[in-house]
Structure 1
Amino acid sequence: MKHSGTLFLLLTTLLFSCKENKNTSYLPESTGAINSMVAVVDNELWRGHVGDSIRKHFAAPIVGMPMDEPLFSIDQIDPRFFTGSIRNTRSILYVTKDSLDLAHIKKDMYASPQRVGVIKGTTNSEILENLNIKAPEIIESFRSVEVAAAQKRFERSLNKGTVLEDEFGISLKIPSIYKVGKHENNFVWIDREIHKGTANILVYAMPGDSFNNQETLVRDIVAMRDSIGEKYIPGPDVAGKVTYMRTEPAYAPFIYPTEIGGLKGVEVRGLWDIKNYPMAGPFLTYILNDKENDRKLVLEGFVFAPATEKRNDVFELEAILKTLRFGQVAN
């Protein structure tokens, strides 16, 4: 009888495991434009302080951009109409007044991949408190699933070139629309045309003992970028003037800790301009501590697109740079 009970337990466990996997596999694919989200919230709450708080957190201006652009484009819907295909949206924020006071994140509730941030409270004050506490974590989870969705889209048609592997021993999943524009010793420039401009990727390396002084970190990063710009990225010809890409001197870049491809380092966001010429745009730089190769590996994306929104172009570059691997491109 003891063996029979054990066998029954194993069969039951296997049955529920299969059922769970089966249900997960049956989830529809999530939908939604990149960097968009649905806020499921009562119309009255949306028009008041709760709606203001949602917009403050989730539509906050992205740092390091030449003009204000929101983290997410938000579509608000009343809970009564949260049915059908709208539930398959990739990033959902569900905010409601309830008998419970809680805030959490759910994964793949209606579709996959999907993140649902849930904020509840018995009063408006509790809802606002939960929003303020949980919003940063929800934003990070939304951004992660958005990056993954963008990277999945790249895989439809990848650039098969080996220039990065040959020069640096690394690979990035880069859409085939990007082409190598310049390749010199310890420097690769890859770009593509976008609406009214270009999206660009730079890869180079610095000595392993670079950027070891925290007190001069910002100044050292600016000096590095400016020297690379002067050497490799000239501006338009202007009589009697030297032009090249540099870090916009009027704005200090934003710096955050990061880890990509198993390497720790910093993320730098800011504005570039052309010395002695009216041209500028946003940049995103990762400086990674590659101890094994005694170097600081630098991955940079920058966008030139005058008088247009650039959020999604910079985001695409971020998603590409975050595919960093050593060796060949992983399929």
Structure 2
Amino acid sequence: MNKTAILLVFTLATLISCSKKKEDNSRHSTGKINAISIVIDNQLWNGVVGDSIRNKFASPVEGLPKEEPIFDINQYPTNVMEGFVTKSRTIIVIKIGSENHFEVKQNQYATPQNVFHITGKSVDALLEVIEKNTPYMIQSIKKGEIDAHWELLKDSLVIPKTLQNQFQLDLKVPKSYSFSIKNKNFVWLKREFSSGCSSILVTQFPVSNFNLEGNILNQIVKIHDSIGAAYIKGEEPSSNMYIDTSYPLYLLETALEGKTAYETRGTWRLKDSFMFGPFISYLIVDPKKNRITYLVGFCYVPSKDRRDFMHELETILKEVRIN
């Protein structure tokens, strides 16, 4: 083969490769919220490696009254790593190889997408690589799922002027939410549907009303219960919302809008009633303006799993913009 023919073959191969990459990057990833694809041989999946993956990526979500997995796992053998599988938003590829290796490839087959490649020389090596990198993978997947949920919601969102005027904050909520209560210091937004309802609460108070050096969780419980006693009631006069401390409570110090914030998850209950469900709240400290913003999302869905309802509320609350 002469030099010209070799050059033509090389150029053609390069063009085909570039065209394939461009085609992959133009594909939009698909999949349900909180669903991940695991590509692994059946023998590994049915053994201790599969057990490790299930224990880590299908562990219970914190703060739900009934156990539900963090992610829904779909397993595929390596020989079907094509077609719809490659369009998944999150893919974890696990295999025995010549080296112990962990790598993340973004938008490898579609956009947006994270593909985690895990290789080990043996089963024990695979378990070690998985153990070491699980926290990072879970954190990355959770962030990707929040972003994906926001993309699903964004076309139906509005910023209620009441929130801008009263609290100097922008909180985009779906148009399906309406005001259940609206006064000077408190707002309750509610969305009702056939199987239940979702709610968002907003209030503010001076920083001096909260002891940042004290027990944060106990104070948040008291704030939440006082809101329930004042505004969220059942049919009976004595029936009001409170945090059920017989269920686990989860507190995480984080940041929203560059401000110190405390995320709390747990279970609410309506006194003298069978109604209960999960909640998530953010207490955001703004010392420069001497105010604390308290946001709560909760749902009542007695006949369905609650994870994705709460994920929607978390997505909405995390996008708050405080002026």
- With structure 2 as the length reference, what TM-score do the two structures score? 0.89
What aligned pairs does 1:153-302 form with structure 2 within 5 A after superposition?
153-237=152-236, 242-302=238-298
**1:310 and 2:300 equivalent?**
no
The 1:24–1:320 alpha-carbon spacing in structure 2 relative to 1, beyond 3 Å, is farther
Distance 1:326 1:213 in 2: 20
Runs of 4+ in 1 over 4 A off after TM superposition: none
Q: What do the CA deviations read for 1:130-177 (whole angstroms, capped 9, x no partner)?
A: 111111111111111111111111122222531211111111221111
Identify the residue that residue 114 of structure 1 maps to in structure 2. Answer: 113
Distance 1:108 1:229 in 2: 45
- C-alpha displacement of 1:214: 4.8
Identify the residue that residue 94 of structure 2 maps to in structure 1. Answer: 95
Identify the residue that residue 132 of structure 2 maps to in structure 1. Answer: 133
Distance 2:97 2:203 in 1: 53
SS of aligned partner of 1:307: coil
- C-alpha displacement of 1:207: 1.9
SS of aligned partner of 2:269: strand
Instruction: Tell me the amino acid that sits aligned with residue 271 of structure 1.
Output: T
Question: Contact 1:258–1:265 (CA<8 Å) still a contact in 2?
Answer: yes
Distance 1:104 1:212 in 2: 44
Question: Contact 1:159–1:177 (CA<8 Å) still a contact in 2?
Answer: no
Identify the residue that residue 12 of structure 2 maps to in structure 1. Answer: none
Distance 1:95 1:166 in 2: 52
Question: Contact 1:282–1:303 (CA<8 Å) still a contact in 2?
Answer: yes
Instruction: Tell me the amino acid that sits aligned with residue 69 of structure 2.
Output: P
Q: Which moved more, 1:34-43 or 1:101-110?
A: 101-110
Question: Contact 2:25–2:109 (CA<8 Å) still a contact in 1?
Answer: no
Instruction: Tell me the amino acid that sits aligned with residue 239 of structure 2.
Output: T
- With structure 1 as the length reference, what TM-score do the two structures score? 0.87
Distance 2:314 2:23 in 1: 29
Question: Contact 2:24–2:110 (CA<8 Å) still a contact in 1?
Answer: no
Identify the residue that residue 54 of structure 2 maps to in structure 1. Answer: 55
SS of aligned partner of 1:193: strand
SS of aligned partner of 1:204: strand
Instruction: Tell me the amino acid that sits aligned with residue 142 of structure 2.
Output: R
Question: Contact 1:204–1:297 (CA<8 Å) still a contact in 2?
Answer: yes
Identify the residue that residue 8 of structure 2 maps to in structure 1. Answer: none
Q: What do the CA deviations read for 1:75-122 (whole angstroms, capped 9, x no partner)?
A: 000111010132011011111111120223221111111112222110
- C-alpha displacement of 1:213: 4.5
Question: Contact 2:63–2:265 (CA<8 Å) still a contact in 1?
Answer: yes
Identify the residue that residue 122 of structure 2 maps to in structure 1. Answer: 123
- C-alpha displacement of 1:272: 0.4
Give the RMSD, CA atoms, in angstroms: 1.9
Distance 1:209 1:45 in 2: 56
The 1:217–1:252 alpha-carbon spacing in structure 2 relative to 1, beyond 3 Å, is farther
Aligned identity (percent) is: 34
Distance 1:188 1:23 in 2: 48
Distance 1:126 1:86 in 2: 26
Distance 1:222 1:66 in 2: 17
- C-alpha displacement of 1:230: 0.3
SS of aligned partner of 1:190: strand
